[in-house]
């Protein structure tokens, strides 16, 4: 662990992206409020929600509108924790929302940024454990990206050890199964990073899905070490946010093809063959049409 002086020096920005899901976001903030370490701030990026998210946030966090040259921006608090709220100009996706917070963390010289799904709940010691692990790496002049052990909020079933696995031939992803031909990546439901000049932004061409696989590639290329910390536990209301989007399967297909075009173009013929076979056998002709439109 680390001493009180380390706690004072450790400044973390916790980043939550919200879209029409203020109840889960507020639950997440309440769990963060119980953290044993107090020297952190929260940044909520709202992707232009059309429910009552903004109104509830204004009340819950006593928000005051501030001037900003690009976004609607408010500052408030939850107890002794400072809360920043940005509102995107539209629902531009998970990567775009996170990029606002990553930019803000770097501009404001936060030492760490914690990308956290808004439909998660954390334990009181989660943040302190993350900082303790990250401090060791930073003191050894390493850049670090840390994944968490993820459990289902409702069943306590094991969902992830921080890593996910992509079958490069079929595009199947899993947080549990390791494939023979695979790409290993950190799952972005909880991703803790030190800020640095090399810290990349997420590729905002990925509206949702595959952005964490692509980001892991970017982090590796920027000399970030990708690790899993077994002492870090996050409970996730799995799919609580994505189920709000009725077009989610089409979005996933678009992101999948974009990912391969960017990172594994040479595998596109194999992807085309395996996906065509899958959609035909499963008689998912509507998804087949969406898939073929990407080529």
Q: What is the pLDDT of residues 27-76, one digit of tens each?
A: 999 999 999 988 899 999 999 999 999 999 999 999 999 999 899 999 99
Residue 135 is encoded by which pair of tokens?
Answer: 């401090």
Model pLDDT, residue 161 = 85
What are the tokens at 264? Answer: 């594994």
- Extract the runs of DSSP E, i.e. beta strands, from 128-275: 143-152, 158-160, 163-167, 173-174, 182-186, 190-194, 224-236
Among 212, 218, 115, residue whose Cα is nearest residue 165: 212
Separation between Cα atoms, residue 183 and residue 135, nearest integer Å: 27
Cα dist from 232 to 59, 82, 126, whole Å: 31, 23, 5
What's residue 108's pLDDT? 94
- Cβ of 103: how many Cβ atoms within 10 Å? 15
Angle at which helices 53-60 and 22-33 cross, to 10°: 20
Q: Would you mind telling me the total number of residues written for the chain in this entry?
A: 295
- Phi (first) and psi of residue 88, to 5 degrees: -70, 160
- Residue 46 neighbours by CB distance under 10 Å: 27
For residue 158, the model assigns a pLDDT of 84
The pLDDT assigned to 157 comes to 87
Q: Which two tokens stand for residue 8?
A: 């004072």
What SS3 class is residue 44?
strand
Instruction: Specify the pLDDT at position 156.
Output: 85
Q: Which pLDDT score, from 0 to 100, does residue 186 have? A: 96
* pLDDT < 50 positions in the chain: 1-10
Half-sphere exposure of 274 (CA within 13 A, CB side): 12
Distance CA 36, CA 43 (A): 19
Q: pLDDT value at position 2?
A: 34
How high is the pLDDT of residue 236?
94
């Amino acid at each position: 662990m680390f001493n009180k002086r380390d706690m004072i020096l450790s400044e973390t920005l916790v980043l939550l992206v919200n879209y029409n899901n203020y109840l889960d976001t507020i639950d997440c903030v309440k769990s963060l409020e119980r953290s044993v370490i107090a020297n952190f701030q929260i940044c909520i990026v709202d992707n232009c929600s059309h429910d009552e998210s903004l109104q509830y946030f204004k009340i819950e966090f006593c928000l005051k509108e501030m001037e900003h040259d690009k976004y609607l921006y408010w500052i408030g608090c939850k107890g002794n924790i400072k809360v920043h709220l940005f509102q995107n100009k539209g629902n531009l996706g998970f990567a775009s929302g996170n990029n606002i917070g990553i930019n803000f963390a770097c501009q404001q010289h936060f030492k760490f940024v914690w990308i956290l799904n808004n439909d998660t709940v954390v334990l009181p010691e989660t943040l302190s454990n993350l900082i303790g692990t990250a401090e060791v790496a930073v003191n050894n002049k390493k850049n670090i990206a840390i994944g968490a052990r993820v459990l289902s909020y409702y069943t306590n079933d094991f969902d992830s050890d921080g890593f996910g696995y992509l079958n490069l031939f079929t595009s199947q992803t899993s947080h549990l199964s390791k494939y023979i031909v695979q790409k290993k990546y950190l799952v972005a439901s909880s991703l803790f990073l030190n800020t640095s000049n090399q810290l990349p932004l997420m590729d905002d061409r990925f509206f949702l899905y595959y952005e964490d696989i692509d980001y892991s590639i970017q982090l590796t290329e920027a000399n970030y070490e990708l690790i899993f910390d077994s002492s870090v536990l996050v409970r996730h209301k799995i799919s609580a946010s994505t189920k709000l989007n009725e077009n989610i399967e089409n979005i996933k297909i678009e992101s999948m093809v974009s990912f391969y075009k960017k990172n594994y173009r040479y595998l596109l013929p194999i992807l085309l063959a395996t996906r065509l076979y899958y959609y035909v056998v499963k008689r998912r002709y509507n998804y087949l049409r969406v898939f073929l439109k990407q080529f």
